[in-house]
Structure 1
Amino acid sequence: MNPIDLIVEPLSYGFMVRALVTTVVAAVVCALLSCWLVLVGWSLMGDAVSHAVLPGVVLAYVLGAPFALGAVVFGFLAVGLIGAIRDTSRVKEDAAIGIVFTTLFALGLVLISVTPSQTDLNHIVFGNVLGVSVGDLVQVAALGAVVAAALLYKRRDLVLYAFDPGHAHAIGLSPRRLGALLLGLLALTAVVALQVVGVILVVAMLILPGATAQLLTDRFSRMLLIAPVLSVVCATVGLYLSYWLDAAPGGLVVVTQGAAFALVYLFGPRHGLLTRRARRDGAAPPAAVGRVEG
């Protein structure tokens, strides 16, 4: 089979086309948001919110409401509970995050186990991108467009909030509102990525693209370009690998992104571990240079 067939054959199936479009949308949106999560240092918060939305999504399914509504409600509930535990007890923030997100995630699993459904709700946990319907695709595209538009429209305010919340407050911006905006967009993004990788692996798509881009550039504006491009390439490669290897698509999408991070971490042109060591070893110490010249 020639390389063209390797690319074209999967696209002859409607479910693969829908899966590819859904995966690309999720990859772009997650990558954009991941730039801010990495910059602000909210990796643990991203993990907490992405897991805490599970009961909200299940309850929304039971009530016939949009998944996004349940996700946003429980996303903010998780953040509120984390803040309450941190501020009213001796428990530190990282422990509060662990307590809240594991409890809410477990509640979601319980709700899945007792909710009668004609569809397999476990797909919320593990993802089911190959089973995406046209309606699911429309919902993902709409939510993705909302998140991307909000991030790009407020990017300057959000960047200032990430670098210097005090300065943002001094010029009239509200750090509290900007933080709430990021958390709301995080909850919506979790719903977008649920279709692709499920609740368990959402945090990987929310962290890996931004972390990889951060190793490739020192400018945030370039991160906003590099992260989505890398994420889309990795997601597409992972989806194709899942087709040809008959393996879990969500898992391979994340594995591919992890492999890209490992390559950049080791061989990145500026911050790669082996690249920096090679530059150090290749540069002779000043004293040694003097002796050679003498």
Structure 2
Amino acid sequence: MNVHQNIKLIDGKATSARVLAEVREQVLALREAGIQPGLAVVLVGSDAASQVYVRNKVLRAEEVGIRSLEHRLGADTDEQTLLALVQRLNADPSVNGILVQLPLPPHIDEHRVLQAVSPLKDVDGFHSANVGGLAQGRDVLTPCTPSGCMRLLRDACGDLRGKHAVVVGRSNIVGKPMAALLLQADCTVTVVHSRSRDLPALCRQADILVAAAGKPRLIGADWLKPGAVVIDVGINRIEEDGRSRLVGDVDFAAALPLAAAITPVPGGVGPMTIAYLMKNTLLALDLQQQAALARPSQEHAPCLSLC
């Protein structure tokens, strides 16, 4: 973290680099043991943002030594074809993680496709078995962005026990799993959303504020308790002064004098998401191996051939 006017800027780029270095070291040890982790990325259609995300994910995988398999399908691909591909990847022992890039074309049932991915290969943590496992505090694959936020928080705050965390937003991808992970860390957690009454007053109670509402600069200085740690998940593109730029859900300039620590946008949470996708791929491999060892009736089957 860098220090700027006694305010700690939480550097997601630097932290993600450390996470990727940890993954690279683990992958090297696995490869020396004859195990090659594999991540399959499925992209349907030609959404411009999705193309960029997939390219970055594949690059990071190659950098850390994870074998990446890209499956690019046309926008007119039917649901059954996509489901058949997912089932083949589930059954492929060389594939440890499966990521279906969202959004999918409107004619495809997103929920059905995500549910088709094996929970043990669901590196996005979106399958209901993993969502339920997270709620129960079990060792499961959890969504990458909230997991990355937790790493940033632990680095910034140390012990999180007893701190009051306020999560702004209740999405299945960030808000809800973020709240569950904070509960696991023994925080007192409040989730606020568009129907909450007096949002600023609720946010001012936060020792930790996680903003995941998708509203540019929604949270100003009057929403923050002095000394709060602010994690801004929002990535919003706006036009300002004749230029296109990315801003978060927090008014960074207004929050900076008040916060004890804060993530910038860009350069905060964003890099952590892909770093934790790589970590999840290794966790998926480990969970698959554990599951194989727990199935004595198939003790001679390849340990990664789970679906």
TM-score by length of 2: 0.24
Larger-gyration structure (1/2):
1
TM-score by length of 1: 0.24
Greater helix proportion: 1
